[in-house]
Amino acid sequence: MTLLLALIPILPLFGFLVLSIFGGRLPWKVVATIGTGSVGLSALLTLIIGTVFLSLPSPDGVYAVNLWEWINTGGLTANISFRLDALSLVFIFVVTFVGFLIHVYSVEFMKGDEGFSRFFAYMNLFVFSMLVLVLADNLLLLYLGWEGVGLCSYLLIGFWYKEPANGYAARKAFIITRVGDTAMIIGLFLLFINLGTLNINELMQQASLKWAMGSPLALLTAALLLGGAVGKSAQLPLQTWLPDAMAGPSPVSALIHAATMVTAGVYLIARTHVLFALAPAVQTAVAVIGALTLLLAGFSALTQHDLKRILAYSTISQIGYMFLALGVGAWSAAIFHFMVHAFFKALLFLAGGAVILLLHEEHDIFKMGGLRKKMPVIFWTFLIGSASLAALPLITAGFYSKDQILWFAWSASNGSPWLWAAGFVGAFLTSLYTFRMVFITFFGETKTEPDHQPGKLIVIPIVILAVFSLLAGFIELPGSMGSFHLFSDVLNTLLPSVILSHENVSEIVFQVLASVISLSGIYLAYVLYLKKPALAGSFNKSRISNFFYSGWGFDRVYDIVFVKPVVWLADIDKNDFIDLFSKGIAMVTIFFNKALSLMQNGKVRWAVMALAIGIVFILTIMMNL
């Protein structure tokens, strides 16, 4: 069984190797089979191992496999070894299963692209890296996966490399996340030097033994790891790369920039939750960052024209919810929202991608309209995804996961009315911007005609994801509605359950509030964008709308504070001022050379005078002695 565990990441790696070495020479069908097949087999293996894992739990709740000793020197050991527990099980399930569906979709989406095999090679490499990230038993191997997914993100954002803007977006993503990663690796140094290991399990044990609650070292390391997490998960203040990352093909946005990679930060915090629990101030910071990010991104999503940018800001906002949950100690609620979000957001990106594909690369929702009748399957699935994102009560999975977070934001011992209020306003924004997008895209008059209907390979994955976006919520029902806790029961073998402080408040009140806010957001969207578009039009022209549209001006500030000074510094000293020193020596030497060679002019009077001066000079010295 443990060897099968190792096969889960190895299969996509194998796919990557075959495609990258022979891919250019293989017919496209073979490429598609290898690319999707490798991930499909991984998904199948995950199902088998997951079933066994849940039905025959091992005594310590863990399956582990050690492949080889990676680094061992001076007390530092890191192995290439994988470890499966409840948390990583959820992640590998989402990565392989949603990953497989997106690969299938990509076969049709990318058909005819000259980089077809390159695309699948990168995608397989991504799935491999992401699996390593979530299965790693030590932080160094986790970091390998962490940087690996960053590389794939870079490669796939810039997949259509001939367009310089895509390359710019790709580098922006890599460099900004690398800033966070550098904080994270310093955190690793700190952990190793103080706790003597990088093995995650041992680290957590040592940390709780050696560090007191709120000790400076615990605060510092948690803050540094948080730095890595906000970079990867596009949270404040490192969120600016994600909207631009939409330059990549839509399946990439679905897999990397919605369902999996961007939630790596959530995984990291959940994985090292012991450390964050020891650092209450940092944990509060996680919640506050989440709350601020979800609001900020929600407002920005409200003003975008580009379908994919709306979804990108929505992703930032939804990960904000996950951070909020992590920050209040609702660990399993965060993971639950991660899973549900992976389903509905992948669905939205795939359906949105299909819309864009059928409308000949049209991204602007204001140039779409009336697509409800033109592409009914896409419309209905997109509507389901949107309903889930907007947390439409009772029938969508998004309702159950988001409601849980809102409830804990108020009731958990770390929670506060302020955090709840942020989440509550965010929920309103979410349903507003979501249905703005739905109404403008699919209702009203048709502005661009689709030229064909999507094929089976596009429709089937979307439909499957739509089913999951509706049903996935029922594995975790709130206390007021049957109190069914399949999901959190599994996770609570590993993650502590939430400590409640406001037991007296009735949970049902919050569910009613959440339902009302979701429905009223939808209603307002209906009024603003279908009934009386003039109202929305006047808002669109306002300065505040522009401010939201530009992502709250973060890009401009970073440009002035970081980019411009670095470029300026590079430009003024391109030729390295230190080189002037050696050039100076050379010039002085040449000067004396010229001066001295002037004397050697062969004229007798010069020679006689030099002789006389010399004699006088020597005589003076001798007399003074």
Beta strands in 37-194 (DSSP E): 63-73, 76-84
Question: Residues 69, 532, 550, 559: which binds another protein (CB under 8 A)?
Answer: 69
Establish if 581 lies at the interface with another protein (CB under 8 A): yes
- The amino acid that residue 223 corresponds to is A
Q: Give 21 or 557: the residue with its C-beta nearer to another protein.
A: 21
Near another protein by CB under 8 A: residue from 85, 137, 147, 244: 147
Counting contacts by CB under 8 A, is residue 73 touching another protein?
yes
- Separation CA 1–CA 261 (nearest Å): 27
Backbone angles phi, psi at 195, to 5 degrees: -115, -5
Q: What is the largest CA-CA distance in the chain?
A: 118
Q: Any contact of residue 574 with another protein (CB under 8 A)? A: yes
- Cα 584 to chain centroid distance, Å, stands at 51
CB 326 within 8 A of CB 224: no
Token representation of residue 65: 């496999």
Of 117 and 314, nearer to another protein (C-beta) is 117
Residue nearer to another protein on the CB measure, 218 or 498: 218
Q: Which residue of 182, 201, 284, 540 would you call a contact of another protein, by CB under 8 A?
A: 182
Binding segment (CB under 8 A) for another protein, from list 72-80, 377-385, 408-416, 534-542: 72-80
Is 171 a binding residue for another protein by CB under 8 A? The answer is yes
CA distance 294 to 430: 9
Instruction: With beta carbons less than 8 A apart as the criterion, state whether 144 and 184 touch.
Output: no
Using the rule CB under 8 A, give the single segment among 42-50, 142-150, 264-272, 430-438 that binds another protein: 142-150
Which span (33-41, 87-95, 187-195, 537-545) binds another protein, by CB under 8 A? 187-195
Q: H/E/C letters for each residue in 292-322?
A: HHHHHHHHHHCCCCEHHHHHHHHHHHHHHHH
* Candidates 310-318, 390-398, 567-575, 614-622; binding stretch for another protein (CB under 8 A): 567-575
**474 vs 592, which CB is nearer to another protein?**
592
576 sits near another protein (criterion: CB under 8 A): yes
Binding flag, residue 140, another protein (CB under 8 A): yes
Give the single-character DSSP code of 259: I
466 Cβ partners below 8 Å, 6+ apart? 347, 380, 381, 384, 385
143 binds another protein (CB under 8 A): yes
Q: How many CA atoms, within 13 angstroms, populate the side-chain half-sphere of residue 307?
A: 32
**Is-contact 262 235, C-beta < 8 A?**
no
324 binds another protein (CB under 8 A): no
The one among 48, 66, 189, 471 contacting another protein by CB under 8 A = 189
CB of 574 to another protein, least distance (A): 4
Beta bridge partner(s), residue 615 = none
Interface of this chain with another protein, residues 78 to 97, rule: CB under 8 A:
80
Binding segment for another protein among 40-48, 58-66, 180-188, 503-511 (CB under 8 A)?
Answer: 180-188
Window contacting another protein (CB under 8 A); options: 153-161, 334-342, 478-486, 514-522? 153-161
Question: Which residue in 20, 448, 492, 497 binds another protein (CB under 8 A)?
Answer: 20
Confirm or reject binding of residue 161 to another protein (CB under 8 A). yes
- Long-range CB pairs of 484-490 (<8 Å, 24+ gap) are 487/332, 487/336, 487/339, 488/332, 488/333, 488/336, 490/54, 490/86, 490/89
Among 496, 573, 611, 613, which residue interacts with another protein (rule: CB under 8 A)? Answer: 573
Positions in 117-136 near another protein (CB under 8 A) = 118
Give least dist CB 100 to another protein, A.
24
Site for another protein contains 206 (CB under 8 A): no
With CB under 8 A, what is the number of residues at the site for another protein?
A: 52
CB of 579 to another protein, least distance (A): 5
Can you tell me which of 174, 349, 379, 408 binds another protein, judged by CB under 8 A? 174
Which token pair is 207? 């940390």
Q: Any contact of residue 599 with another protein (CB under 8 A)?
A: no
If binding is defined by CB under 8 A, does position 148 make contact with another protein? yes
Whether the Cβ atoms of residue 377 and residue 285 lie closer than 8 Å to each other: no
Using CB under 8 A as the binding rule, whether residue 25 contacts another protein is answered as no
- Rounded to a whole number of angstroms, the minimum distance from the CB of residue 239 to another protein is 18
Nearer to another protein, 451 or 579 (CB): 579
413 interacts with another protein by CB under 8 A? no
Q: Please name the residues in contact with 226: beta carbons below 8 A apart, sequence gap of 6 or more.
A: 269, 282, 285, 286, 289
- 137 forms part of the interface with another protein (CB under 8 A): no
User: Which residues are CB-neighbours of 298 under 8 A, at least 6 positions away?
Assistant: 313, 314, 317, 425, 426, 429, 430, 433
Binding another protein by CB under 8 A: which of 48, 535, 566, 615?
566
d(CA 261, CA 253): 10
- Structural contact between residues 122 and 110, judged by C-beta atoms closer than 8 angstroms: no
Tell me if 402 sits within 8 A of 422, measured CB to CB. no
Provide, rounded to whole angstroms, the least separation between the CB of residue 52 and another protein: 29
65 forms beta bridges with: 82
Structure tokens at 550: 């530009």
Q: How many Å apart are CA 398 and CA 469, to the nearest integer?
A: 7
- Choose one: 317-325, 429-437, 518-526, 565-573; the region binding another protein (CB under 8 A): 565-573
- In the complex, the residues that contact another protein under the rule CB under 8 A are 20, 24, 68-76, 80, 118, 140, 143-144, 146-148, 151, 154, 158, 161-164, 167, 171, 174-175, 178-179, 181-182, 185-186, 188-190, 192-193, 566, 569-571, 573-574, 576, 578-579, 581-582
